[in-house]
Amino acid sequence: MDFSIIEEVSKKLGIDKDRVIEESLREWIEGLLTKVEAEIADILIRYGVEGVRDFEEKIRKGEVSEHPGWEDLITLEKLFERKKRIEEALRLVKKS
């Protein structure tokens, strides 16, 4: 990437380039978090569950079809893991 664009944007906006980078990174990470949270909410709402354990229990009891239930459960677990990593990255950016 050509980082001179950051210099140009910084000058045009009258904002320090470090601030441009930090705020851009924070906004980008927050956008990722919003998308992941929307995907999580979609699965939870679709199956009427509150979380991974509740979802797994409903599958085991036969209240939710095993297919695609198990696949969606795996997806949900991965999304929660991704959300955790994104939140950790966001805390790092907000600390600086």
The pLDDT of residue 74 is 98
The pLDDT of residue 3 is 80
Q: How many CB atoms lie within 10 A of CB 8?
A: 11
| Residue 38, CA atoms < 13 Å, CB-side half-sphere | 6
- Tell me the average pLDDT across 46-63: 97
- Tell me the average pLDDT across 87-94: 96
Question: Which residue type sits at 72?
Answer: D
Does the pLDDT of residue 32 top 90, yes or no? Answer: yes
Contact (CB, 8 A) for 59 and 88: no
Looking at the chain, the whole-number percentage of residues with pLDDT higher than 70 is: 100
Does the pLDDT of residue 96 top 80, yes or no? Answer: no
The pLDDT of residue 55 is 98
Q: Please choose, from the candidates 35, 36, 31, 33, the residue with its C-alpha nearest in 3D space to the C-alpha of residue 78.
A: 36
Does the pLDDT of residue 73 top 80, yes or no? Answer: yes
